[in-house]
Amino acid sequence: MSELAVTEAELHAHVDGLLPEARRAEVEEYLATHLEDAQRVRDWREQNAELRSWFDPVLAESAPARLRRAATGSRKPPLLPALRFAAVVGWIALGGIAGWFLHDYRIEKSTDTVAFAHRAVVAHIVYAPEVRHPVEVGAEQEAHLVAWLSKRIGGNLKIPQLASLGYHLVGGRLLPGNQGPVAQFMFQDGSGQRLTLYVRNGAAEGKETAFRYAQERGISVFYWVDGRFGYAISGEINKDDLLRVANVVYQQLNP
């Protein structure tokens, strides 16, 4: 090779217009006699042009409203808590659950919250069958449990009372979530049926969503975001029964 030797990196820089002016002519000169490299350079240029002609039209599309809302951190129009609750219940009751969830899933689906629900289900599957150590701190130390987890999660947690549905608190534990600590509370009814409430702080701050439903490995889960916290309630029970529980939980956490 002579002084005209050109590196692979320089060929790329040539394609991307990142080569210093002085070097550009030398690379051109090199390409005039190295036809295979010249062909590669042409193909790479063509790739760049193709990428832009294919994806540039996206720039002209008008962005969905949900993205503009996310960019400005604006919430949906504020409603009184009671109305908010009525709205959630109303949406679900109205129009059939399927219709709403189809709508909800398309408009509001966020892979982050889907992953959150997935982790809630996995945590349920791991701990709900546990006989000897289902929780770290038992219900007999409820005040300590709330104080401890509130401190770790960063926010004032509340534990819903589900006695009206036949469930009592077993206790809770601290778990690693995707972005930090997560709390799990466990409830149980007279037959030994267990539900877990999975709570995280922060990831979707300032956002509110309606209930969403998913089912995985026989476990039903309703999940939603309310203010600072994301919630998921999981159990091996049917959707209607779990929805009743989710409603009570939501109502109690938003007095």
Using only C-alpha atoms, the chain has a radius of gyration, in whole angstroms, of 27
The reply on whether position 70 binds other proteins by CB under 8 A is: yes
Three-state SS annotation for 59-73: HHCCCCHHHHHHHHC
Q: What is the dihedral of CA 48, 54, 59, 63, to 10 degrees?
A: -140
Considering only 1, 106, 133, 164, the residue that binds other proteins (CB under 8 A) is 106
Q: Which of 105, 154, 168, 176 binds other proteins (CB under 8 A)?
A: 105
- Residue from the set 73, 78, 192, 218 that interacts with other proteins by CB under 8 A: 73
Name the residue nearer to other proteins (CB basis): 135 or 219: 219
Which of helix, strand or coil describes residue 219? strand
- Does position 5 bind other proteins by CB under 8 A? no
Site for other proteins contains 109 (CB under 8 A): yes
Q: Residue 44 — φ and ψ, nearest 5°?
A: -65, -40
Q: Which of 1, 5, 98, 143 binds other proteins (CB under 8 A)?
A: 98
Token couple for 36: 């295979």
Q: How far is the CB of 141 from other proteins (least distance, A)?
A: 33
Q: Which is nearer to other proteins, 61 or 140 (CB)?
A: 61
Among 4, 32, 163, 215, binds other proteins (CB under 8 A): 215
Q: Is 204 in the site for other proteins (CB under 8 A)?
A: yes
Q: Which is nearer to other proteins, 70 or 89 (CB)?
A: 70
Work out which of 23, 66, 75, 76 binds other proteins, going by CB under 8 A.
66
Determine if 91 is a binding residue for other proteins (CB under 8 A).
no
Coil, strand or helix at 130:
coil
Under a CB-based contact definition with an 8 Å cutoff, are residues 207 and 200 in contact? Answer: no
Residue 170 three-state SS: strand
Structure tokens at 235: 């159990």
Q: Which of 201, 154, 199 is nearest to 172 (CA)?
A: 199
Report the distance separating Cα 72 and Cα 174, nearest Å.
Answer: 33
Say how many residues touch other proteins, by CB under 8 A: 56
Phi-psi region of 177 (alpha: psi -120 to 50; beta: other; left: phi over 0): beta
- Footprint on this chain of other proteins (rule: CB under 8 A): 8-9, 12-13, 16, 18, 40, 43-44, 47-48, 50-61, 63-64, 66-68, 70-73, 98, 101-102, 105-106, 109-112, 114-115, 117-118, 121, 178, 202-207, 214-216
